[in-house]
Amino acid sequence: GGVIEHDIAVVGMALRMPGHAKTPEQFWEVLATGVNGVVDMPDSRWKHSQYFSKDAEEPAKYYSEKMGACDDVDMFDCVFFGIAPMEARYMDPQQRFLLETAWEALEDACIVPKSLEDSNTGVYVGVGTHDYSKVPGMDAPEDLTMYHLSGNAHCVTSGRISFVLGLQGPSIAIDTACSSSLVSVHLACQAIINGETDMALGCGINLCLTPDTFVGLSKAHMLSPT
């Protein structure tokens, strides 16, 4: 029959965004004051001049000089999360950001993270890129450990959050390209409505850590030169 109304409450938020925004309040200031988070490509990611060309057809080159870059991609307090430094070295910064923001979102909701242990709480993560494994030195055969696989697998982006917090609900990584974050929130809401989980973390992450994505998008003429 009829349509059943369901109310979903958003009780906590956390984020990392270009424009030096590390909290929802800071991101609102970026939006409200018109701050431009697009900057010159930082050499901390890769050597920009080595891959840039105004000629969109030049092999292995991209034609855009700008990107939206988040701060502190190389920073992570692994001890806080009970993760050994050796394991943390092989963890995609996307996994690190997700752990940090999941924890902060629960704090924002005034929920003690450890209080959710063994609860029916779900984790839905929208994720598409996985280029940390291509960062120079990360794929050297002599350096490969069991952490290389877990540190770069999409399934672990959600699974690691569930593991660290001791959650027993669904734990799913979702890749629907540009809509991944939106779909993750949609599925989180659907899971609550359907009684599959009592609460859920709807997450999304996208960090470009090698020039590969920009080269590919340039070949498809999908980037703006500015």
Lowest mean pLDDT among 20-24, 129-133, 137-141, 171-175: 137-141
Mean pLDDT over all residues of the chain? 92
Residue 150 CA to residue 192 CA, distance in Å, equals 28
Per-residue confidence band for 81, with pLDDT thresholds at 50, 70 and 90: very high
Average pLDDT over residues 64-80: 94
pLDDT (0 to 100) of residue 146: 84
pLDDT (0 to 100) of residue 135: 84
Average pLDDT over residues 172-189: 97
Residue 207 CA to residue 45 CA, distance in Å, equals 10
Supply the pTM of this predicted model.
0.92
Per-residue confidence band for 44, with pLDDT thresholds at 50, 70 and 90: confident
Would the pLDDT of 53 be above 50? yes
Average pLDDT over residues 97-124: 97
Q: Is 110 left (phi over 0), alpha (psi -120 to 50) or beta?
A: left
Average pLDDT over residues 91-116: 97
Per-residue confidence band for 153, with pLDDT thresholds at 50, 70 and 90: very high
* Residue 124, strand partner residues: 172, 202
Q: What is the pLDDT of residues 131-143, one digit of tens each?
A: 888 887 776 666 6
First to last CA, the chain: 52
Three-state SS across the chain? CCCCCCCCCCCCCCCCECCCECCHHHHHHHHHHCCCCEEECCCCCCCHHHHECCCCCCCCCECCCEEECCCCCCCCCCCCCCCCHHHHHCCCHHHHHHHHHHHHHHHHCCCCHHHHCCCCEEEEEEECCCHHHHCCCCCCHHHCCHHHHHHHCHHHHHHHHHHHHCCCCCEEEECCHHHHHHHHHHHHHHHHHCCCCCEEEEEEECCCCCCHHHHHHHHCCCCCCC
Q: Residue type at 32?
A: A
Would the pLDDT of 1 be above 50? no
